[in-house]
Amino acid sequence: MKLYLATSNRHKIDELRQMLADAGLDASVETPDVLGGMPEVVEDAGTFSGNALKKARALATRIEGDALALADDSGICIDAFDGAPGVYSARYAGEEATDEANLAKLIREMEPIPDGSRGGRFVCHLAVVSAQGEERVFEGVIEGEILRERRGAGGFGYDPVFLPLGRKRTTAEMSAAEKAEISHRGKATRAFLAWLQSGRADAVNGTVAPIKP
Ligand code: ITT
């Protein structure tokens, strides 16, 4: 089976490929390049699932047979900022902001936030759309706290300052497999795999997020 991941983020592709290989699933993860590139999508839905569905639907118009188009919309939600930057995490430091600029801004903006009030979470909504128009969204969340200084060189984005609850290492200090075991993307991907391996049964015990296009 072919899975097409509607993203321009190389790290998301690497993480998904690794997780499918670890799960022993007989599926290949293709990039949008093999379908002529990622169609232009304006991520203006205002929700993770809405944006994820927009991206997956755009790519699904180019697939056929039993292939599936997947898209992940994810971000970091900070308690002290009422959940911001959330769906705007990729644009936190401006429209074309780099990971580095976004991370630097988060560290700066959180300077005045006292220890004990620095909680937050990574959220991932993974949308799956078939060539025939079947749609599902799977959700994953990981709770943690935001450090004042960067630690680790792995992962991407906000990983160097994200310390998962009850852990001693940031997600940037973890191996890819260790991060996937507990991460928002890992949880959403495992919910997707459970759905796929159960013959696409509807109920996967609360792991299917409500679809809000
Ligand atoms: P696509 O839309 O093309 O998939 P993107 O990187 O713009 O790529 P999003 O719109 O979903 O993806 O934005 C996700 C933001 O959240 C972005 O700033 C990431 O760096 C950050 N992020 C998501 N997952 C993360 C993770 O596992 N570790 C660190 N940061 C993460």
Instruction: Give the Å distance between the CA of 87 and the centre of ligand 1.
Output: 9
As annotated, the active-site residues are: 73
- The pLDDT of residue 204 is above 70: no
Segment 202-212 shows an average pLDDT of 49
Segment 102-123 shows an average pLDDT of 98
Dist CA 60 CA 56 (whole Å):
6
- The pLDDT of residue 211 is above 70: no
Please report, for residues 18, 107, 111, 201, the alpha-carbon distance to residue 26 in angstroms, rounded to integers and kept in the order given.
13, 41, 46, 19
Residues near ligand 1 (Cβ within 6 A): 7-9, 12, 43, 73-76, 89-90, 99, 102, 122, 155-159, 171, 183, 185
User: Residue 201: its pLDDT value, please?
Assistant: 74
Q: Which of 119, 123, 121 is nearest to 184 (CA)?
A: 123
Domains and CATH numbers, the chain: 2-210 (3.90.950.10)
Instruction: Give the Å distance between the CA of 55 and the centre of ligand 1.
Output: 13
Segment 70-95 shows an average pLDDT of 98
The atom of ligand 1 lying closest to the CA of 155 is 28
User: Residue 198: its pLDDT value, please?
Assistant: 86
**Mean of pLDDT over the chain:** 93
- The pLDDT of residue 212 is above 60: no
Q: What's CA 94's distance to the chain center, in Å?
A: 20
Considering only CA atoms, which residue is closest to atom 13 of ligand 1? 90
